[in-house]
Amino acid sequence: MPTQKELAKLAGVSSGTVSNVISGSVPVGERSREKVLKAIRELNYQPNLIARSLRTNRTHTVGIIVPDITIPFFPKVIRGAESAARERGYFVVVAESEGSSEREAELIALLRSQRVDGILLIVAAGAKRPPLSSSDLPVVYLDRLPDGFEVDSVCVDDRAAAEMGIVHLLSMGHRRIAILTGPLTLKNEQERLRGYRQAFKKSGVPVQESLIWSSSFNLEEVMSVCQKGLLKPRNRPTALFTTNGLSGMGALRSIIASGLSTPRDIAFVTFDELTSEDIFRPAITSIVQPASEIGSRGMEILIDRINTGSVTGPRKKIRLPAMLAVRESSGVMLQKRKTL
């Protein structure tokens, strides 16, 4: 692969001039510039970003760590982040923590070794403390926030979003509404549970503590917790709300495995969309997060931090509104669906 030195020789100028032409930061005479551009074309020169990064101590690359790339929510976040990055001349490298904090730590170390300029992080699980602090390397937390620490973050207003889902079920006449959460070590899971309580409180319906179930991000565990709750027909809730896509998936499987169907035997609403397609039945009523926007806003904040080099100062906390997509599983056909 050709280097600037070779370009310089071919063009008959110094390598400094070549660099100036390429960077455009220093004006270069018309004749020299022409010769350099010609040489670039002739040799099919591609700048060596490795060398540039070593020199400038900037890679124009940010890492994004997500727990699981096969869950529909995360690719959408990545998309949003990627396009915001591209607009600003940054590259994105995607890494998957597989829901493991150890792997997450490895990935962070790796990204640091690769000298990324910053990291967008969706934490693997409920770490006690943030796995990374901005005083170290700029980081913006997405979706899942470390509890009780001041960090830059973008997520939905979890409490309001969950409340909206529960209010919907209450308005459909349900009273025995169970909630199945993920690990309550995660702040957003806590918030979503809080939204549940808040909805009940506002409507004056008493909460039944026995209908509050929580589990992990492990599908088997989720299913077992859920099955147990659905077991006895007499105590069975008439509606079920799950606080994340994985729990929703587990719950839906459990419902089907129990021989029940939705919305006939039990109404069902979940946080996040279980599939990105809307042509499958049962169509799931869900709380839809602005996934792409979470990614793009996060990236904007991150690149801002990188460019201004402001590692201190007040943290940005962005709370975006979620949307309730009423479909079939919660029990009504409000109107003929347009999409089909």
The binding site for a second copy (CB under 8 A) comprises 1, 46-51, 53-54, 59, 69-70, 72, 75-76, 78-79, 82, 91, 93-94, 96, 109-110, 112-115, 249, 252-253, 256-257, 274-277, 279-282, 340
Q: Which residues are at the interface with DNA (CB under 7 A)? A: 1, 3-5, 12-20, 22-23, 25-29, 31-33, 47-48, 51-52, 54-57
Q: How far is the CB of 312 from DNA (least distance, A)?
A: 22
> Coil, helix or strand for 150?
coil
Q: Work out what residue 232 binds among DNA, a second copy, none; the CB cut-off runs from 5 to 8 Å by kind.
A: none
Q: How far is the CB of 51 from DNA (least distance, A)?
A: 3
Neighbouring residues of 264: CB distance < 8 A, sequence distance ≥ 6: none
Q: Work out what residue 93 binds among a second copy, DNA, none; the CB cut-off runs from 5 to 8 Å by kind.
A: a second copy
Q: How far is the CB of 48 from a second copy (least distance, A)?
A: 7
Q: Work out what residue 276 binds among a second copy, DNA, none; the CB cut-off runs from 5 to 8 Å by kind.
A: a second copy
Alpha-carbon distance of 245 to 263, in angstroms, equals: 18
Q: Work out what residue 112 binds among DNA, a second copy, none; the CB cut-off runs from 5 to 8 Å by kind.
A: a second copy
Partners of residue 156 on adjacent β-strands: 320
Phi, psi of 193 (to 5 degrees): -65, -40
| The dihedral formed by the CA atoms of 251, 252, 254 and 260, expressed in degrees to the nearest 10 | 130
Q: Work out what residue 13 binds among DNA, a second copy, none; the CB cut-off runs from 5 to 8 Å by kind.
A: DNA
135/204 with CB nearer a second copy? 135
Q: How far is the CB of 129 from DNA (least distance, A)?
A: 27
Sheet with 118-121: list strands edge to edge: 91-96, 61-66, 118-121, 139-142, 153-156, 317-320
Handedness of CA 282, 287, 293, 298 (dihedral sign): negative
Could you tell me which of 281, 287, 266 has the C-alpha nearest to residue 331? 266
